[in-house]
Amino acid sequence: MADRFAIPSPGAPMWWGEPGAPLVLLVHDFFGRLPWLETVAALLADGGFRVAVPDLYSGIATASPGEAESLMGRLDVRRSLALLDEAVLVGRAEGSERVGVVGFSMGGWLALLHAQGGSADAVVAFYATLGPADHGVVPCPVMLHLADHDEWGPREDPADFIDRLDDHGTPVLDHHYPGTRHSFANGSVPGLLDAPSAQLALTRTAVFLREYLLD
């Protein structure tokens, strides 16, 4: 298909950075593991992190919203969380003592779900929350990057989610980006990227991860 991307190491995580450094998992959005994530991974690796980017779609990545919707609809959530666990185990075996998870849209939802398991020391979600049915205690600090224009299901809106995090005593920082829309950090799908907002969000993410994983 014309909108398909050929991706390296299909089905396996891609790795950047020095083994044994604090580990950061980057979890892709519903388009799949597109090339823009390699740039993000390289930047974080340059900042002192060991970075893994899992492939939850087993070699498929697309720029087509319709195909992305179909791929997300077929996603095996339990398997996806297991893949994140496997990457954490590899990082631990290499010597990584602290773990951060950064996810985008669908990947942000998965990152927040995964963080409830207790293996993360910090979690960052771009334009993603958890609804009450999925929300347990997130036992680590949370950073949220939120678009100015977005759509949310019942009780999935950021204000409701932040209230629940506060009720559980979870430290949370939320940032809103004026004029942006959902997926504003995705630099591979035409028409989505808001470069200034994406750069600011990624800078804030790096500072947040340094605070909880490196300091």
Q: Are strands 14-16 and 50-53 parallel, antiparallel or unpaired?
A: antiparallel
Residue 47 has pLDDT above 60, yes or no: yes
The pLDDT of 134-161, averaged and rounded, is 95
Give the pLDDT band of residue 215 (cuts 50, 70, 90).
Answer: confident
Q: For residue 7, what pLDDT is reported?
A: 67
Domain annotation for the chain: domains and CATH numbers: 14-214 (3.40.50.1820)
**Residue range 198-212, pLDDT digits in tens:** 999 999 999 999 999
Alpha helices in 59-123 (DSSP H): 65-73, 77-94, 106-115
For residue 6, pLDDT over 70 is answered with no
pLDDT digits (tens, 9 = 90+) for 171-190: 999 999 999 999 999 999 99
Residue 43 binned pLDDT confidence (cut-offs 50, 70, 90)? very high
The band of 10, judged by pLDDT with boundaries at 50, 70 and 90, is confident
pLDDT value of position 1: 45
| Residue 33 structure tokens | 């593991």
Is pLDDT above 80 for 93? yes
> What pLDDT score does 27 carry?
98
Q: Cα separation of 36 and 39, whole Å?
A: 5
